[in-house]
Amino acid sequence: MLTAGLLVGAGLAIFIYFVLDMSNDDAAQFDELPGVSLPESAAVGALAPDFELNDLTDETFRLSDLRGKIVVINFWATWCEPCKVEMPFFEELYSSSQKQLEILAVNFDEPSQQVQQFVEEYRLSFPILLDPGGNVQNLYRVRGYPTTYILDEEGIVRYHHIGLITEGQLDQYLGELGANE
């Protein structure tokens, strides 16, 4: 048993050495996801990672094109019960605040027909973006649904909310950014 533990430990040490010792050229191979510019982080206080995705009508949305507006990015799935609870809040917000902010709902990588049925059922009018392969969700390190990022007018991540966001929380976050004035 001691020998097995030593072998596992040695293997782990070698793996960590090579991962931490990667040169920038070696690491660059991981930055080549289609439609995605990989930054250092999607952390609060950092510039939000830029991305380009298509909606259900094949219109292209690039995050950096939305500078000057507060942007809510919601990562969601049709099977996610808390996501279903949030959607009416987002629709009401979008209907009343289109000039001040933009909502981008990035789907989990489900078939477009399934997403379209959900959009029709919930009567959603804000952009529903498709993320084939989940590249943008990986970029934003989404680990559960729903996950919401709120960006200020300069594209800086101001809030990162994991799980169900209530109408009150959403109003508070947006109010702190001056979107409810």
Please report, for the chain, the start and end positions of each structural domain, with discontinuous segments joined by +. 40-176
Phi-psi region of 178 (alpha: psi -120 to 50; beta: other; left: phi over 0): left
pLDDT of 27 above 80: no
Contact 93, 127 (CB under 8 A): no
pLDDT of 12 above 80: no
Question: Is the pLDDT higher at 138 or at 2?
Answer: 138
What φ, ψ does residue 15 adopt, rounded to 5°? Answer: -60, -50
Mean per-residue pLDDT, 66-82:
97
Residue 179 has a pLDDT of 80
Residue 17 has a pLDDT of 35
pLDDT of 73 above 50: yes
CATH of domain 40-176: 3.40.30.10
Share of the chain above pLDDT 90, in %: 71
Mean per-residue pLDDT, 18-33:
35
pLDDT in tens, 39-53: 446 899 999 999 999
Peptide bond into 146 cis (omega under 30): yes
Residue 69: pLDDT band with limits 50, 70, 90: very high
Residue 33 has a pLDDT of 44
Residue 161: pLDDT band with limits 50, 70, 90: very high
